[in-house]
Amino acid sequence: MKRFLGLLLVCVVIIGLSNPLEAASRYGIKHKDQVNQDWEVHVDYPVFEALKNRQLQKEINEKIIQKLEDTSSEIRGAAEEMSGFPVLYYEEAAVFREEQFYSVVLTSHISRGNNYTSTVTSLNFYDRERGKVLALNELFEMDEVNKQVKKELAKEPDTYFVKTFSSVRPNTAFYIRGDMLNLVFNKFEIAPGVYGTPEIQLPLKRLKEKETENAHAPFPSIS
C-alpha cells in the first residue's frame, strides 16, 4: 500500500509539472461585480505579479484593465438605449504558458435582451528582456494559417460556415499548448451560436513562422 501511494504521489507531481497553465504564483485572479438597475458587470481577470520583465508586466496589466473598462463603458452606453431589459456583461479569463510564451485569453459574454454575443481577445507575449505583445499575424504567415483553417472547417461542413468563411482575422485570439496552435473564434464567427466560441487546433509544424527576434521558442523547428 505504501508503495502504491508513493507511485500515486509521483504521478500527481508529474502531471502538475506538465500542466501548461501558468502557475498561480505568477499572477492573481481578481473578481469585480457592479450591479445597476440597467446593467450588470461581473468580471474575473488576472493581474500579473512576478513576470521577469517588469516593464512588460505593467503593460500587460494595463492592457487587461483597459479592455475591461472599455467593455464596461460600452455596456453602460448600450443600457441607455435599452428599455425593460438590463444589459449583462460577464468576463472570463484563462492564462496559458508554454515555456516563456504566455497567452491571456479574455472572453466577454454580453446579453442585451434576447441578443447574446461572445467575443474573445488574447494578449500573447514572451516574458523576456525584449518581449512584447504579439498578434497572430506577427508570429505566423497568415496565408498558411488560412489554408490550414479552411482544411479543418471542411472536415465538418455541417458544423462550420464553410461557404461563407473568408479568412482569419489578424487579431484572432489564440494560445499555444504543446505543439498546437489553438485559435479561438467569436460566437457566430465560424459556426452557429450553439457552438459558443469554437476553437480550431492547428499543428505548429504545418505553419510558417515569421522571422522575428521574438519568434523562436516554444515553436518547433520546421524542416
Enumerate the domain spans of the chain.
Answer: 21-133, 135-216
The whole-number pLDDT of residue 212 equals: 59
The whole-number pLDDT of residue 38 equals: 92
SS3 content of the chain, % helix, strand, coil (to 5): 30, 35, 35
User: Positive or negative CA dihedral for 4, 10, 16, 19?
Assistant: negative
User: What is the side-by-side order of every strand in the sheet holding 101-112?
Assistant: 27-35, 39-48, 87-98, 101-112, 115-126
Q: What is the mean pLDDT of residues 181-201?
A: 97
Task: Note the pTM of the prediction, 2 decimals.
Answer: 0.83
* Cα–Cα dist 20/22, whole Å: 6
Taking 80 as the threshold, does the pLDDT of residue 1 lie above it? no
Taking 80 as the threshold, does the pLDDT of residue 23 lie above it? no
* Cα–Cα dist 66/87, whole Å: 20
The whole-number pLDDT of residue 81 equals: 81
* Cα–Cα dist 216/198, whole Å: 27
Taking 90 as the threshold, does the pLDDT of residue 204 lie above it? yes
Beta bridge partners of 203: 180
Taking 80 as the threshold, does the pLDDT of residue 55 lie above it? yes
* Cα–Cα dist 212/219, whole Å: 13
Taking 90 as the threshold, does the pLDDT of residue 214 lie above it? no
* Superfamily in which the 21-133 domain is placed by CATH: Fervidobacterium nodosum Rt17-B1 like (3.30.565.40)
**CATH pick for 135-216 out of 1.10.287.110, 3.10.105.10, 3.90.640.20, 3.40.50.450:** 3.90.640.20
Q: What percent of the chain has pLDDT over 70?
A: 83
The whole-number pLDDT of residue 34 equals: 94
- What's the burial of 75, exposed, middle or buried (CB within 10 Å: 0-12/13-18/19+)? buried
Q: What is the mean pLDDT of residues 44-56?
A: 96
| CA nearest neighbour of 123 among 73, 71, 67 | 67
Q: What is the mean pLDDT of residues 34-57?
A: 95
Look-up of cell digits 499572477: 27
Secondary structure E strands in 36-172: 39-48, 87-98, 101-112, 115-126
- CB atoms under 10 Å from CB of 22, counted, come to 19
Q: What is the mean pLDDT of residues 63-85?
A: 89
The whole-number pLDDT of residue 4 equals: 35
